[in-house]
């Protein structure tokens, strides 16, 4: 992971702090094959400070998530992220907790800069998964990101729970990184530095 961010000239500290500190919450609530999370507008946070571990609220539209829809189908999982605006370099992180054996958690990280497009799938953050059919499509005009994961790459779980974060990246010293986490309105320095967690959806059972 660290090599990936350095390769693209992206500051590593702030982003990796969030990615590696994510922990899971529990819920017994079940849901149908589709679940929608509505996210508060104007809750994007800029990452500042010499250590890159401080947050300040920004009201800009870029990277501001408004809704996330997860479709859990018989053969695939699709996560559709709608934002107010989606310009410049960004990283999309999708966390997928599953009912598969040993309850693994999968992470999709999709990085997009001016010169590079990269997508990876890891299992419990320590096992890289080669997954034919894994793809991410971005529509800048509509400000939509679509993440498609074949269900077999997730060990064919009976149910999943998803969490999403969008990071607008600072590349080669230009501007500040920004972060918006779907379903979480208030972000604090304490949350960001070590107790970070993506709010996860209820259990979404597999549909047709």
Cut 0.75: pTM above it = yes
Q: What is the CB-side half-sphere exposure of residue 194 using CA atoms within 13 A? A: 1
Q: Give the class (CATH, top level) of 2-205.
A: mainly beta
Structure tokens at 68: 């996330």
Q: Would you tell me how many other CB atoms lie within 10 Å of the CB of residue 74?
A: 10
Element counts in the chain: helices (H) and strands (E): 3, 15
pLDDT tens by residue, 90-120: 999 999 999 988 889 999 999 888 877 889 9
**pLDDT for position 7:** 40
Q: What is the pLDDT of residues 125-165, one digit of tens each?
A: 789 999 999 999 999 999 999 999 999 999 999 999 999 99
Buried b (16+ CB within 10 A) or exposed e, 79-108: bbbbbbebebbbbbbbbbbbbbeeebbbbb
Beta-bridge partners for 76? 150
């Amino acid at each position: 992971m660290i090599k990936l961010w350095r390769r693209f000239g992206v500051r590593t500290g702030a982003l990796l702090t969030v990615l590696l500190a994510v922990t899971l919450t529990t819920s017994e609530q079940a849901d149908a094959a589709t679940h929608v999370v509505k996210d508060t507008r104007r809750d994007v946070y800029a990452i500042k400070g010499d250590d890159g571990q401080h947050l300040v609220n920004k009201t800009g539209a870029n990277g501001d998530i408004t809704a996330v829809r997860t479709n859990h189908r018989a053969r695939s999982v699709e996560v559709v992220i709608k934002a107010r605006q989606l310009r410049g370099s960004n990283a999309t992180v999708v966390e997928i907790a599953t009912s598969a054996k040993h309850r693994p958690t999968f992470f999709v990280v999709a990085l997009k800069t001016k010169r590079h497009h990269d997508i990876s799938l890891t299992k419990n953050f320590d096992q890289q998964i080669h997954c034919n059919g894994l793809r991410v499509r971005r529509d800048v005009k509509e400000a939509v990101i679509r993440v498609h994961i074949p269900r077999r790459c997730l060990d064919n779980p009976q149910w999943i729970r998803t969490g999403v974060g969008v990071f607008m990246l600072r590349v080669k010293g230009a501007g500040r990184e920004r972060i918006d986490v779907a379903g979480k309105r208030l972000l604090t320095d304490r949350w960001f530095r070590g107790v970070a967690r993506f709010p996860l959806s209820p259990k979404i059972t597999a549909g047709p």
